[in-house]
Amino acid sequence: MIRFVIALSFGLMMAAPASAQTLAKELFGRLEAASNQSSAALGSYAKGCLAGGAELAENGATWQAMRLSRNRNWAHPDMLAFIERLSRKAARLTGWSGIYVGDMSQPRGGPMLTGHASHQIGLDADIWMLPPDRLNLTRRERENLSSISMRREGGAFVNENWTPQHMALLKAAASDKAVARIFVFPGAKVQMCKDAKGNRDWLRKIRPWWGHHTHFHVRLACPKGAKNCVDQAPPPPGDGCAAAQKWVDDILNPPEHDPHPTTPRREYVLADLPNQCAAVLQSR
Ligand SMILES: [Zn+2]
């Protein structure tokens, strides 16, 4: 038995030689299953990992998980509950039978080999802007179908694909108590600022960002009482509409200096992540 265990661990070491310099994305980006632990979001959205990840069913009554080959339909169970809630609301909108769910996290979260700086702790999800007219797409269709863009003039405005239902869906997502922020292109935020009637509190959570014109990105707050989960500072008070308008103005008349610089960061090794992420990697 002992010999078997040694042989097994030696085999694993040979399969994935890891040193202190091995990038965390190499370690987390190749694991196919969740850790056998209770669920926990560990660290922060762009620097952490996910214990006991839960897999979003490939098909639900009101959703489908897209691009299954990426194996990024994993999340904290709170996110799965959110997808269930939001998709039920989506299914009541004209032209929407539910939602197409894009990338969430890897089975054990962590940095990815491609794309996304965040999505590391199971609390981020991309929701496609394409209204699903059917929810029986095959695996193959889910690889080949693409979402649609909502933007015009580099994201300064929405285009003809944008509908009141898109606003209703974003409002429903932003009104959900579990949600901390939603990222979408600046033109969409400004359009919603113009069209919003009555209470505007929900607009505060909707933040302009680069990209995010074929999907919007939902970020949940850390689950209540989660000790090792690090929340992002809350958005500034107010509806954020002036800030979004400034983004739009900067797109239309780019200032000399980039007003929203994205600082490139060093790639993480395991030691950069919370200590608990080592156990997440090792769990069988
Ligand atoms: Zn995203």
- Torsions phi, psi of 244, nearest 5? -65, -40
Q: Beta-carbon neighbour count of residue 152 at 10 Å? A: 16
Round to whole Å and give the CA distance between 66 and 143. Answer: 7
Q: How far is the CA of 70 from the centre of ligand 1 (A)?
A: 14
The alpha carbon of 173 is separated from its chain's Cα centroid by a whole number of angstroms, namely: 13
User: What is the 125 CA–ligand 1 centroid distance (Å)?
Assistant: 6
Ligand 1: distance of its center to the CA of 140 in Å?
Answer: 22
Q: What was the pLDDT predicted at 16? A: 52
Q: How far is the centre of ligand 1, averaged over its atoms, from the C-alpha of 182 (Å)?
A: 9
Ligand 1 centroid–CA 38 distance in Å is: 25
What token pair was written down for 100?
């197409």
CA distances from 189 to 8, 134, 229 (A): 53, 27, 28
Span 136-163, average pLDDT: 97
> How many A from CA of 7 to the centre of ligand 1?
40
- Cα three-residue angle 52-54-173, rounded to 5 degrees: 125
Q: Identify the pLDDT of residue 5.
A: 43
Residue 18 pLDDT: 74
Res. 256: pLDDT tops 70: yes
Q: How far is the CA of 111 from the centre of ligand 1 (A)?
A: 13
Beta carbons within 8 Å of 43's beta carbon, 6+ residues apart: 49, 120, 121, 228, 229, 230, 273, 274, 277
Residue 269 Cα, ligand 1 centroid: separation in angstroms? 22
Q: Return the H-helix or E-strand segment holding 65.
A: strand 63-65
Q: How many whole angstroms from 72 Cα to the centroid of ligand 1?
A: 11
pLDDT digits 0-9 by tens, 53-111 = 999 999 999 999 999 999 999 999 999 999 999 999 999 999 999 999 999 999 999 99
Q: Where are the alpha helices (DSSP H) in the chain?
A: 2-15, 24-28, 77-90, 139-144, 164-175, 186-195, 241-252, 276-282
Contact 139/68 with Cβ under 8 angstroms? yes
Give residue 135's pLDDT band: very low, low, confident or very high (50, 70, 90). very high
Distance separating alpha carbons of residues 218 and 190, to the nearest angstrom: 18
Find the 216 Cα to ligand 1 centroid distance in Å.
Answer: 7
pTM for the full predicted model: 0.92
CA 67 from chain centre, in angstroms, equals 14
What is the arithmetic mean of pLDDT over 233-244? 96
209 pLDDT band (50/70/90 cuts)? very high
Question: What residues have their beta carbon closer than 5 A to ion ligand 1?
Answer: 126, 217
Distance 44 CA to ligand 1 centre (A): 14
- What DSSP state is assigned to residue 235? P
Q: What element of type H or E holds 215?
A: strand 215-220
Distance CA 122, CA 175 (A): 20
